[in-house]
Homo-oligomer: A and B are copies of this chain.
């Protein structure tokens, strides 16, 4: 699980750096956006749960890893465009790994199961939301594809499996396999939630 986490933060840092690049950021900006994308989800979760110290503050090497990954992505951007499929795959793995890790952190704090699921989804999704805010875009996760819903579903499955007496180890393997499969199918077949048209919207604010 730990090596999966490292793989996930590397992938997220690279995705953040590439997005920043398209928005005209300098090298510092790329590294910062990459780091925020990779570590932001866990940071938001821990701040909301009051769970200190934050992971990257006790393990500063995580920050170095994400900065390196962002710098490598920026340097190799020309080649990475041919690897989009690999990125989507690693990102899907990362989403589920982040979610499972987020659930574990919250569960250790004795909060209710609903909050455990939410904490997992926040870990999976908030890094990308912060990346989009820094890039001055509306967060993609709010309007595109089955992404956050899969994080919520994976978290719920993980909590349910444990409630049914399955140990954390096997439960996380099951969730990883199922969640990853659903996410890849969603990408392949462009599954998405219905976007309600602007014409449907009311006038209240």
The quantity of this chain's copies bound in the complex is 3
Q: Of B60, B63, B196, which contacts A77 at CB under 8 A?
A: B196
Chain A: number of interface residues, binned into ranges: 35 or more
Measured CB to CB, the nearest residue on chain B to A138 is B136
Q: Of B18, B52, B137, B196, which contacts A204 at CB under 8 A?
A: B18
- Asked if A96 is an interface residue, CB under 8 A from chain B, the answer is no
Are the C-beta atoms of B87 and A204 separated by less than 8 Å? yes
Are the C-beta atoms of B134 and A204 separated by less than 8 Å? no
Complex: how many Å from CA A136 to CA B204? Answer: 18
Q: Of B49, B63, B114, B137, which contacts A63 at CB under 8 A?
A: B114
Are the C-beta atoms of B204 and A118 separated by less than 8 Å? no
- Asked if A172 is an interface residue, CB under 8 A from chain B, the answer is no
Beyond A19-B205, A52-B50, whether A142 also contacts B200 by CB under 8 A is: no
Within 8 A of B (CB), among A99-140: 111-112, 114-115, 118, 129, 133-140
- Asked if A144 is an interface residue, CB under 8 A from chain B, the answer is yes
Are the C-beta atoms of B47 and A194 separated by less than 8 Å? no
Sample (10) of A-B pairs whose CB atoms are under 8 Å apart = A14-B204, A25-B143, A26-B193, A27-B194, A49-B52, A50-B52, A73-B202, A82-B202, A88-B204, A134-B142
